[in-house]
Amino acid sequence: MSNALMATYKRLPVSFERGEGVWLWDTQGKRYLDALSGIAVCGLGHAHPAIHKAICDQAATLLHTSNLYQIPLQEQLAEKLSALAGMQQVFFANSGAEANEAAIKIARFYGNQKGIQNPTIVVMDKSFHGRTLATLTATGNRKVQAGFEPLVQGFVRIPFGDIDSLKSVAENSPNVVAVLVEPVQGEGGINIPADDYLKQVRQICDQHEWLMMLDEIQTGIGRSGKFFSHQHQAIVPDVMTLAKALGNGMPIGACLVSGRATDLLGPGNHGTTFGGNPLACRVGLTVIETVEKLNLTTRAEVLGAKLLADFADALTDVAGVEEIRGQGLLIGIELDRPCGELVTRALEKGLLINVTADSVIRLLPPLIMSDKEAVNLVEVLSALIRDFLAEESD
């Protein structure tokens, strides 16, 4: 690996040359089943023909003008996302971290408009919201914060899924203006709260006139089995952030608002040079069109349930498997010990996976994965897990 790159990643010893569907080929011609989708980005898989055409067609006409001018494709994408989410307005950025930065600024602006000094946002343990100074402060992982002190003020942290803790904050923290939460924690280990958790958060936010802000960067655009994960609980947030799968590899982020967050920001309050450019928005529109055309939200729900059931059958009574959990095609297999070396073992077998929270195998396969490819995933990974746990137990 080149010494010209900052060593911010511990990269695996493989370089990919091309992809097609759920498969990737490295520079030596070896084929890999991609069960990670570039960390929930390539929901339509690799080299999807509709995305290829959209990029080529748009690149031949116009890539960038800046937000000094009207951008019709940006307006179309904003209208489409707003309609799908039942929300009102959208700010486009280039990444999930930038979308979350916008959400944090909206919450602070909202608090200051109400005359609240030192507006505070409630965030969760084990969360992940990005690596800018504000978003890494909001993130509930001390590892990503270490060395970057002083962190940003204005956050209070509670356990994820714990409504009693949120009620306690409401009683004792008068400066709170918002709650920022992932419907399903991805980096934290595919942690899924109780079925009524988001509804209760919504009720508490309404009661105290807080903004309910949902980070759907990993869960959004069909992966959960609904277009947005919060739709499983039939609620609408005041702020929602998106990125990852919205561009299927093209960098784009979005911050949607509704309710009391609508019309808060005006000219000069926030901005971006590249966000919402014609190319990114053309791709975003094509992604949404393709997800709808192929009914991939239902596919994610059906295939996710099948994968959970098949893994449960394959790993029944295997000592060391703590829990298999998921929502749609967000799947976590938690072991009773650190299992990071499974990533390398899987790579050797032609399978791309991830381990997060030290002991959770995280699977985020493309929404287009076939039943046959899903069977392959279960067979290869289950054998790897069995062998790993058996060796560790010797």
Return the pLDDT at 165: 98
Convert the pLDDT of each residue in 163-191 to its tens digit: 999 999 999 999 999 999 999 999 999 99
Q: Which residue among the candidates 91, 126, 160, 215 is catalytic per the annotation?
A: 215
Indicate whether 148 pLDDT > 70: yes
Convert the pLDDT of each residue in 333-379 to its tens digit: 999 999 999 999 999 999 999 999 999 999 999 999 999 999 999 99
Task: Return the DSSP state at 191.
Answer: B
- Of the candidates 58, 97, 151, 87, the one whose C-alpha atom is nearest the C-alpha of residue 272 is 97
Q: Contact, 41 vs 217, CB < 8 A? A: no
When pLDDT is averaged across residues 97-101 and rounded to a whole number, the result is: 98
Residues 260, 185: Cα–Cα separation, whole Å: 25
Q: Contact, 21 vs 376, CB < 8 A? A: no
Return the pLDDT at 394: 60
Q: What is the pTM of this model?
A: 0.97
Q: In sequence order, what are the residues at sequence separation of 6 or more whose Cβ sits closer than 8 angstroms to the Cβ of residue 370?
A: 22
Task: Return the DSSP state at 268.
Answer: T
Radius of gyration in angstroms for the set of CA atoms belonging to the chain, rounded to a whole number = 21
The tokens describing 28, both together, are 């030596």
In the chain, which residue ranges form alpha helices assigned H by DSSP? 37-40, 49-59, 72-85, 96-113, 133-138, 142-145, 163-172, 197-208, 278-293, 296-314, 341-348, 371-393
The tokens describing 275, both together, are 């966000």
Task: Return the DSSP state at 244.
Answer: G
Return the pLDDT at 1: 72
Convert the pLDDT of each residue in 295-323 to its tens digit: 999 999 999 999 999 999 999 999 999 99
When pLDDT is averaged across residues 54-70 and rounded to a whole number, the result is: 98
Residue 244: active-site member: yes
Q: Measuring CA to CA, how many Å separate 292 from each of 205, 268, 297, 306, 314?
A: 32, 35, 8, 21, 32
The tokens describing 298, both together, are 């239902």
Q: Contact, 251 vs 279, CB < 8 A? A: no
Q: Which residue among the candidates 91, 128, 227, 228 is catalytic per the annotation?
A: 128
Residue 306: active-site member: no
- Of the candidates 206, 187, 186, the one whose C-alpha atom is nearest the C-alpha of residue 198 is 206
Burial class (CB in 10 A: 0-12, 13-18, 19+), 16: middle
Residue 10: active-site member: no
Q: In what order do the strands lie in the sheet with 360-363?
A: 321-327, 330-335, 360-363, 354-356
Q: Contact, 378 vs 304, CB < 8 A? A: no
Return the pLDDT at 2: 85
Average pLDDT, the chain: 97
In 278-393, which residue ranges form alpha helices assigned H by DSSP? 278-293, 296-314, 341-348, 371-393
Return the pLDDT at 329: 98
Q: Which residue among the candidates 91, 227, 244, 311 is catalytic per the annotation?
A: 244
Whether the CA torsion 306, 310, 313, 318 is positive or negative: it is negative
Burial class (CB in 10 A: 0-12, 13-18, 19+), 46: buried
- Reduced 3-state DSSP string for 12-53: CCCCEEEEEECEEEECCCCEEEECCHHHHCCCCCECCHHHHH
Residues 232, 224: Cα–Cα separation, whole Å: 9
- Provide the percentage of residues in the chain whose pLDDT is more than 70: 99
